[in-house]
Amino acid sequence: MLGPPGAGKGTQARKLAEEFHIPQISTGDIFRKAVQDNTPMGKKAKEYMDSGMLVPDDIVIGIVEERLDQPDVNAGFVLDGFPRTLYQAERLEQILQKKARGIDAVINIRVRRDAIIERFTGRRVCKSCGASYHVKYNPPRRPGLCDACGNELVIRPDDELETVKKRLEEYEQKTAPLIEFYQSRRLLIDIDGDKTIDEVHKSIVDMLRGEEK
Ligand code: AP5
């Protein structure tokens, strides 16, 4: 899943994972869990996340490589928030080649800038399982509590306006070039993200099913 911060990558990745019965691999979620558990990697990642910067490539790539060694990815997987730099994209190709696997599609979610800011301000995430909600567009059934695990919903520390600005800057500089990279490999599927969550999901599934034919 490709797209600027707040575009809805996590929301859509989760729905795709359910639809196709495959795991969602979110580097952001992996880092947030490590921060919560106060692991050495979590402490390192926190420094970058809190300031809206990308975590260094070598840390991220090591984590993804390890995750892709797990048996549950055999039937496929959705990568959410990775790769985020050209170097990560190149390394991902090498990792997958070694496993005789490849990427089927890169979903690029496009969203208007003003809609992104609104998505950030209304976002609430589960402290425990990482599920993402929106107070207006995707409210939980019980206010303040996660539908999936019942735990408390909180505002993500990096959703503060100044940090969001830095994250958007990082995206433009380091991640947006991946659009051209995957276009040149004929893997890019552009999706209009300015629709409801269910409409966006349907467009993605329709496109993916079309690719399968
Ligand atoms: P990460 O967690 O990946 O954050 P991000 O890419 O900035 O993306 P977000 O999680 O903010 O947004 P999203 O697109 O998933 O949107 P969501 O579905 O939640 O990364 C966090 C940090 O970790 C990074 O800054 C970096 O430091 C580090 N990191 C992670 N991966 C890395 C990597 N590969 N390399 C280096 N560093 C890395 O939706 C947002 C809100 O909008 C929600 O409230 C949702 O309910 C709502 N919403 C979603 N879709 C819609 C819709 N269609 N209509 C209305 N509302 C919607």
| Cα atoms in the Cβ-side hemisphere of radius 13 Å centred on 156 | 31
Alpha-helical (H) ranges within the chain are: 9-20, 27-36, 40-50, 57-67, 86-98, 113-122, 161-170, 177-184, 197-212
The reply to whether ligand 1 has any atom less than 6 angstroms from the CB of 24 is no
- Rounded distance from Cα 155 to ligand 1 centre (Å): 13
The model carries a pTM of 0.94
* Ligand 1 site-directed mutation target among 67, 78, 92, 138, most atoms within 8 Å of CB: 138
Top-confidence residue, 160 or 213: 160
Residue 166: pLDDT above 90? yes
Residue 122: pLDDT above 90? yes
The reply to whether ligand 1 has any atom less than 6 angstroms from the CB of 55 is yes
The reply to whether ligand 1 has any atom less than 6 angstroms from the CB of 167 is yes
Enumerate the domain spans of the chain.
9-22+75-212
Q: Which fold is adopted by the domain 9-22+75-212?
A: Rossmann fold (3.40.50)
Catalytic residue at 156? yes
Catalytic residue, candidates 14, 46, 91, 123: 123
The reply to whether ligand 1 has any atom less than 6 angstroms from the CB of 31 is yes
> Whole-number mean pLDDT of the chain?
94
- Ligand 1 atom, smallest distance to 29 CA: 2
- Write down the pLDDT at residue 129: 86
Of 34, 43, 90, 37, which Cα lies nearest the Cα of 67? 34
Q: For residue 92, give the 3-state DSSP assignment.
A: helix
